Structure 1
Amino acid sequence: MLRVVAVAALTLCACRSGNVADYDELYFQWDGSRVICALSIDRGQGVQVSDVEDGLERVQEEDSVLVLYGHDPRGDGGHSVRDLDGVLGAIEDAGLPFLTFRELVGTERRAGVVVTFDDAYIDGWHAERDTFTSYGAVATFFVTRFDEANDTRVNKLRELESDGHEIASHGLNHLIAGDYVADYGVDAYIDDEVVPSLEAMRGAGFQPETYAYPLGNRTKDIDAAVLEHVNLVRTTSYVADTLLVSDPCPE
């Protein structure tokens, strides 16, 4: 049932209402929170660059952080970023610093934006190296199925890391946390999905410190277990709740 609800959320999110700046849960307030929400910039989610600009104004006013997430920066499907240049350009024009997700540890207040990418679109991420550099942008790449990446793709991740980007975990097999825990328990999720992903990345020389839930699917109990292994976790906000959709972002 959780899987059905989560997939429905991806479809219904485009029906959001209101101004992005009005959703408090989207803004990290340097309050020590370790479960942090993100706003999608993928085509299928209905968020425009102008919506992001509204959020950036709030960030400037209150010295908070807006976390964004997308998937494929070069595709044209629902899981592709709507306008990478537009988003990065808006952040640059606002004069806001780009932060990596792991920098959200601490309480020293400052304005900023975290741009994150999920799944295994390594070739597409790497192909945008010059784009990121041109905007002075750093991003966080949450990688799933890392153990299936060949040497060429692992080296592409190393090059991204050398540019200042963060390489982090999105689980070993992109398992939906709530579903897996319902069937097998929290310990099994940690042992089968979280720890093997972290170990595979560390074995290749990366130091993953943060974790993003597939589909943002989480509970407080799952958070507590995962946070024994990483410093921060990222979930998602659907911005609009409906009768069918429950936003996984804690409010």
Structure 2
Amino acid sequence: MFSLQELEAATNGFGPENVVGQGGDGIVYHGVLGNDTQVAVKNLVNDRGQAEKEFKVEVETIVRVRHKNLVRLLGYCAEGACRYPAFASLNFLWMLVYEYVNNGNLEQWLHGDVGPFSPLTWEISINIILGIAKGLTYLHEGLEPKVIHRDLKSSSILLDKQWNPKVSDFGLTKLIGSERSYTTTCVMGAFGYVAPEYASTGMLNDRCDVYSFGVLIMEIISGRKPVDYNWPAEEWLKKMVSSRNSEGVLDPKLPRKPATKTLKRALLVALCCVDPNAQ
């Protein structure tokens, strides 16, 4: 458990120059601890209705997670905010402290300005997809209770200098016992990645992560965002595949096209993951 004083010192007083990410659930700061360990400190926007005890139980479980394709959670901070002017509007602070991964996130490399050709070759892209799959498999099958991420998206996939993926952003995870589902009245997750049955019923299980994973595969292969209002409102990728134009879905920034057989296999996996029938 980290103190707010430690994290304040590590992030230069949560200075704006240290902000490395910002989303609907919090702001992420780059920091350096007293022992020179680089960290990413996520200040959660609110406690999402959780009591402090429940927050600590979930975090202490996730702290024990160890996998090469998951960002390691080093600890957390849960303190009253009244003594800190920068957070005067909050009654309580909830922060998560992760290892720092030094090559940005997948969204930046897919949709940012990387020039005419992406550094993400087909081989690198497939290794990223496999790494995400291995990390999810560990969360779903290697732990008891299993961990449901429920906010899997390209910005939550961090990359190291060797392009190895690390699934991050465990701020929205839910611990679920084996062979169980969980019903919530507050559906969370990024628009375009959320499984339809979760969006409509609030029923959460590991298949919700599988759906998001399928969307991610399609995003990596096509280089297109899951939701794009500049294109017709239709299932574009499925239509291209059914018309036997698999190569037409490839990211135009891809330096070299893959073998057709390999591409079709990857697309088939993606389409299975996003099948309307969750079973």
TM-score normalized with structure 1 length: 0.27
Give the structure with the larger helix fraction.
1
TM-score normalized with structure 2 length: 0.25
Of the two, which has the highest radius of gyration? 2
